[in-house]
């Protein structure tokens, strides 16, 4: 097991792979939590963007100052069965590569990058599933996804040999807002 580091915002990451927190960009290599049995921390190309460095920052993150979890994908079948993956606002890219927002490295039938996309729109509090740019197909509740499809609680997403249950956090009963984030 690798030694993980905790940034000032509470995110855990591998300092051997990242010089700063891949979730918020904070550089803090001083807090070592030692060996851990926790599942790997997925890299995030979107979340690594930081203000003031010329990188793109999501609107939701810029307004709130954080990029909070809005839902999860849980692997219910396939090589990564039992693992969960955080969904944050706006677009979440799914693939095998470490730089994907949702990295599923154990399933070699998933494209390295952009096999599929799950998005959360904070303006209308909705989730969608998009097919990616890969050769592989994406299924939602056994139906092929060829155009963006609305995601509902506990929908089943199939990519490669992996089946993922979608679990929303944001919805009618809760939505992140500026007041709640403070």
- Which tens digits make up the pLDDT trace of 47-106? 444 444 555 555 655 566 677 899 999 999 999 999 999 999 899 999 999 999 999 999
Residues 80 and 125 in one domain: yes
How far apart, in Å, are the Cα atoms of 121 and each of 18, 30, 98, 127, 177?
28, 35, 24, 6, 13
Which long-range contacts does 119-123 make (Cβ < 8 Å, 24+ apart)? 119/90, 119/91, 119/92, 120/70, 120/71, 120/87, 120/88, 120/89, 120/90, 120/92, 120/170, 121/90, 122/59, 122/60, 122/70, 122/89, 122/90, 122/170, 122/175, 122/176
Number of domains in the chain: 2
Q: How many residues does the chain have?
A: 182
Q: Quick check: is 177 in a domain?
A: no
Q: Quick check: is 113 in a domain?
A: yes
Residues 85 and 124 in one domain: yes
Residues 28 and 64 in one domain: no
pTM confidence score: 0.65
Residues 98 and 29 in one domain: no
Do the strands 143-144 and 3-6 form a parallel or antiparallel pair, or are they unpaired? Answer: unpaired
With a CB cutoff of 8 Å and minimum separation 6, the contacts of 25 are 48, 49, 50, 53
Residues 151 and 66 in one domain: yes
The angle formed by the CA atoms of residues 89, 91 and 92, to the nearest 5 degrees, is: 95
**Higher local confidence (pLDDT), 112 or 171:** 112
Residues 34 and 69 in one domain: no
Does position 21 have pLDDT exceeding 80, yes or no? no
Does position 179 have pLDDT exceeding 50, yes or no? no
Note the pLDDT of residue 68. 87
Residue pair 92/118 in contact (Cβ under 8 Å)? The answer is yes
Hey, what are 106's tokens? 């154990």
């Amino acid at each position: 097991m690798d030694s993980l580091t905790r940034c000032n915002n509470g995110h855990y990451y591998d300092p051997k792979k990242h010089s700063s927190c891949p979730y918020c960009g904070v550089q803090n290599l001083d807090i070592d939590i030692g060996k851990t049995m926790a599942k790997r921390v997925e890299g995030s190309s979107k979340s690594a963007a930081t203000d003031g460095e010329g990188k793109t920052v999501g609107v939701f993150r810029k307004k709130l100052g954080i990029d909070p979890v809005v839902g999860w994908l849980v692997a219910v079948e396939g090589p990564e069965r039992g693992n969960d993956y955080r969904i944050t606002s706006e677009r979440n890219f799914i693939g095998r590569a470490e730089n994907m927002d949702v990295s599923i490295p154990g399933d070699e039938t998933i494209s390295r990058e952009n096999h599929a996309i799950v998005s959360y729109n904070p303006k209308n509090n909705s989730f969608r599933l998009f097919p990616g740019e890969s050769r592989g197909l994406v299924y939602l509740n056994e139906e092929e996804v060829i155009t963006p499809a609305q995601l509902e609680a506990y929908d089943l997403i199939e990519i490669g040999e992996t089946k993922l249950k979608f679990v929303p956090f944001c919805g009618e009963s809760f939505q992140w807002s500026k007041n709640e984030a403070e």
